[in-house]
Amino acid sequence: MYLNLKCRWYRLGGGESVSQYRQMEKTIRLNTAETALVLVDTWEVRNMERYPFLPGLPRRFVNEIMEPIVRRRIKPTLEAARRLGLPVVHLPSYYVAEKYPAFRGGVPRCNVAYPESRVVKGKPPAKSGAAWPPPAYVTRRLREWQHDRYGVSTGRIDDMRRQNTYIHSALTPIPGEYVLSNKDELHWLLQRRKITNLLYAGFMLNACLLFKSGGLHDMALGCGKNYFCILLRDCTVAAENNHTLKDMTMTRCFTEWFEMGMGYTTARLFRANA
């Protein structure tokens, strides 16, 4: 069985245009036996009146924008994937994943490799006890960073939020689905299931969906990785600020940025054609 998806991307070379890129569309055909749906951080915070969805994220943004995307777009997509027999991978953070019996589901515990971007080429790694930058400096700057963005210390409130955070109840994993927490666990699973195509949905587009361990940046061919990734662009949203919320500028820009250099997107809830 196959999926025929009308996909969008940008091609380098704008002809006579000043722009370097021009938008393109084509139908991409995927074998369902080689394709999985990956849901990133589709969270639900219980007792949300006491604990914010994320530090500083307004409840109205969650209720009026994210919640309809989950129920009207991601849920029907998940149901379609289940009917088609696609492997479904839920990819929340570890503190959410460990709450589910399906966590790893036979996938061995994998440690995330130390980011290559942190390694200085041509120089030996620092010896034990010679951490750089100094831990005290990092702690001070991190506190400053958190205070400037969230206005308060996140400490205990964020600990309680984590305890009350789950995969959205409309998307609760069912038997046979996977709950994983990082790229190494995901790669282990995909390798053994012989999966090469990944359909991504979830939150937030300009944060975890793109950049967390196992997110698009970790897996997409356009980032020098090994998987053919398609973003379901109607099944996500970016975090917006007070200048961009009206027109959802961040969502549009990060979607098109992904199309320009990382992969393809599709807006239609996918259907199968034998």
The correct answer on CATH 3.40.50.10790 for the domain covering 2-109+166-273 is no
- Residue 188 binned pLDDT confidence (cut-offs 50, 70, 90): very high
Model pLDDT for residues 122-175, shown as the tens digit of each residue = 444 455 557 899 999 998 998 888 778 776 655 666 777 788 889 999 999 999
Model pLDDT for residues 189-223, shown as the tens digit of each residue = 999 999 999 999 999 999 999 999 999 999 998 77
Q: Report residue 122 as tokens.
A: 């041509």
Model pLDDT for residues 63-101, shown as the tens digit of each residue = 899 999 999 999 999 999 999 999 999 999 999 999 999
pLDDT at residue 115, as a whole number: 36
Question: At residue 244, what is the residue type?
Answer: T
Question: At residue 110, what is the residue type?
Answer: C
Domain boundaries, the chain: 2-109+166-273
Q: How far apart are CA 185 and CA 113, in angstroms?
A: 11
Q: How far apart are CA 94 and CA 155, in angstroms?
A: 18
Select from 144, 43, 25, 126 the least CA-distant residue to 92. Answer: 43
**Phi then psi dihedrals of residue 69, to 5 deg:** -65, -45
**3-state SS track over 178-245:** EECCCHHHHHHHHHHHCCCEEEEEECCCCCHHHHCCCCHHHHEHHHCCCEEEEEEEEEECCCCCCCCC
Question: What is the percent of the chain where pLDDT is above 70?
Answer: 81
Mean pLDDT across the chain, nearest whole number? 84
